[in-house]
Amino acid sequence: MIKKGLIDKIFDAANIKRWNDHVTPMDLTELDKQAHKFIIAYLLAKNEEHERNLSIDWIALIEGGIHEFLHRVLLTDIKPPVFHKMMKEKGEELNRWVIDNLREDLTATDENYFDRFVTYLSQKKDATREKKILNAAHYLATNWEFRIVYNSSPFIYGIEGTKNDIENQIEDYYDLIGVQKISLRRKSFGFVDLCGQLRFQKRWAQVPRIPETSVLGHMLLVAVFSYFGCLKLGACPKRIYNNFYTSLFHDLPEVLTRDIVSPIKQSVAGLEKTIKEYEEIQIEQRILPLLPDYMHEEIKFFITKEFSNKVRLNGKVVYDIDQQTLHESYNEDVFDPVDGELLKTFDILAAYLEACKSIQYGVSPNQLTDAKEKIEKSLKGNEVLGLDLTEFFE
């Protein structure tokens, strides 16, 4: 499904510290920034689609975001002004270096994806509507982080220049309705801000671990796994779209409840159901009011029973569809399919990756080693819709 070399490069983003030449009150990582960028891009694209009646190629948007994520992971240690100057003057050579470094991993994962990756890097900055949306989302996510940095150290030499540069870059995208709304710092900004707060919530909160990963970064890991899994399965476009954004938003309610670990949820009969009911009330009262009305149904579709296989039949959502039946009989856009069970597997594999990496780095408390062994025991040797999970563990 996805090879070790590519997994390592994706997870490296959790180790890459942003703004590390500034005073910051916390670690800001590339993985979190990229996850926030994907969420903002979704919001911007929805605004263009519904309020301007423009066509959005959602698969191109998702895939373009992953292309840029991988490109940035390899080049992210370069300071932005230097990076932009290098890309302007030596972009072709830098892209070739990135391609050479990713060729083996991407070709082994999906050869057609690698070809599309190469083509994408050759396009100009705002060559397509989707690429323009991703660039706008990049600057908005950067600005969200920068406000934390600026408020922590407004006295740092040159910081006013950085502030002006970012604001000028955002202004170049004011023709996008979503950028205008977010810049007003009203409802849409509130949603972006709320999602960004998920980077403050650490996974495995009571367990020493390196690197620490946030709920926000974890959601992107699951989303990227789901994307490459869907490619392998030959999923229809709507299924890819639903699986990716369900993964990207699957822990969104935790911004209201925090990350409640499974042992606590399972310690008292009925507690998990009570938590879910509370989350549903809070979503209605605190999250949905920050979004346009036309987005409410879809967001609820993504995060309601997120790990249940579901389709839409005659306008009604049907849950708990058999996994194989969904794959064989409902793999068409008209059915609006979501592979909830498969996404739960990817969620567990992301947790396994978080535990394994810390153990490899030498921080291995009992909770991590026990979790690693438990997951291996439950999933190693299994196949899910023909995807061999043994390869992931090996």
Task: Give this prediction's pTM.
Answer: 0.94
DSSP at 156: S
Residue that is written with structure tokens 């600026």 in the block: 150
Average pLDDT, the chain: 92
Dist CA 75 CA 229 (whole Å): 26
Parallel, antiparallel or unpaired: strands 316-319 and 310-313? antiparallel
Q: What is the pLDDT of residues 84-130, one digit of tens each?
A: 788 888 888 999 999 999 999 999 888 899 999 999 999 988 999 99
Dist CA 301 CA 310 (whole Å): 9
In order of 132, 167, 177, 279, 295, the CA distances from 174 in angstroms are: 11, 11, 7, 34, 21
Does residue 258 register a pLDDT over 70?
Answer: no
Mean pLDDT of 227-247: 97
* Higher pLDDT among residues 319 and 283, named by residue: 319
Dist CA 42 CA 141 (whole Å): 13
Q: Which two tokens stand for residue 129?
A: 């509507």
Q: What is the pLDDT of residues 135-147, one digit of tens each?
A: 999 999 999 999 9
Mean pLDDT of 371-385: 92
Residues 6+ apart with CB under 8 A from 157: none
Does residue 251 register a pLDDT over 60?
Answer: yes
Q: What is the pLDDT of residues 184-234, one digit of tens each?
A: 998 999 999 999 999 999 999 889 999 999 999 999 999 999 999 999 999
DSSP 5-45: HHHHHHHHTTT-EESTTS--SS-EEHHHHHHHHHHHHHHHH
Dist CA 204 CA 218 (whole Å): 11
How high is the pLDDT of residue 250?
95
Residue that is written with structure tokens 């509507």 in the block: 129
Mean pLDDT of 356-378: 95
Band of pLDDT at residue 242, cut at 50, 70 and 90: very high
Lowest mean pLDDT, pick from 12-16, 307-311, 359-363, 386-390: 386-390
Residue 318's beta-bridge partner residues?
311
How high is the pLDDT of residue 248?
98
How high is the pLDDT of residue 206?
87
How high is the pLDDT of residue 148?
96
Q: What is the pLDDT of residues 321-337, one digit of tens each?
A: 999 999 999 999 999 99
Band of pLDDT at residue 51, cut at 50, 70 and 90: very high
